[in-house]
Amino acid sequence: MDDQQPKVYISPDTQVRPNNQWFKSWRIIYPLLGLVLVVEIILGFKTLLNPLAKSSVQKLQPIAGARIILISAKDSYKVGETVPVTVRIATRGHSTSGTDLVLRFDPKILQGTTSSFIRGKIYNDYPQVSLDSKGGIARISGIASSAKQAFNGVGRLGTINFIAKAKGIINLTVDFKKGSTQESNIFDVNDSTDILEGVNNLKITVQ
């Protein structure tokens, strides 16, 4: 009996109780988090349903002015060979109603005739095709017969199949002066302005 531990009376006011403060804190935080989530969902739906602002819709604009480009299969030919010179145009975002080409070449080295020209398919009408073998000048015009057939992109105006008749180095050049309508031009279908900004000429050697 002497080994039995004495009983100790604990007053109810002094009993150890679990700390419930964190339960109370979470009871407050959970409703707040739920409210924030509901607001975010509503704002998200409004953003998706609202049409794009006018300022955010960008209309595609032409990058720059158009170009006329002279290309050949190679840069060196022998006397008697056919020298194909392809004329390409790059409208760079513009829709075009037509192109006028004035091309100069050395008639002592290259020979060409009107029948030497093969039309491209970017325009449906070629009202002028002339090659002056004595003066060394070619004039070619291609036009679209209607606005629906206007050309936009990079395409072949045509190819001139010259004949190399003598040795030498020849520069084929496009007559071009920015703003001038008396030389080579590319016309915008909307207002008929000349949008030609530059040319790429061609050098060929005949051996």
Number of domains in the chain: 2
CB 96 within 8 A of CB 196: no
Q: Is residue 181 part of a domain?
A: yes
Q: What's 194's DSSP letter?
A: B
**Average pLDDT, stretch 172-196?**
91
For strand 82-90 and strand 125-132, is the pairing parallel, antiparallel, or unpaired?
unpaired
pLDDT digits (tens, 9 = 90+) for 6-28: 554 444 444 445 455 544 554 55
pLDDT digits (tens, 9 = 90+) for 40-64: 666 655 554 554 444 333 444 445 6
My answer on whether 48 and 73 are in the same domain is no
**134, pLDDT greater than 90:** yes
My answer on whether 106 and 179 are in the same domain is yes
Task: Tell me the residue range of the domain where 35 lies.
Answer: 19-54
Q: Is residue 50 part of a domain?
A: yes
- For 135-147, give one letter per residue: b (16+ CB within 10 A) or e: ebebebbbbbeee
Q: Is residue 12 part of a domain?
A: no
Answering whether pTM is above 0.75, one says: no
My answer on whether 148 and 80 are in the same domain is yes
The CATH number covering residue 185 comes to 2.60.40.680
Q: How far apart, in whole angstroms, are the C-alpha atoms of residue 109 and residue 120?
A: 25
Helix residue spans in 14-114 (DSSP H): 21-49
My answer on whether 100 and 191 are in the same domain is yes
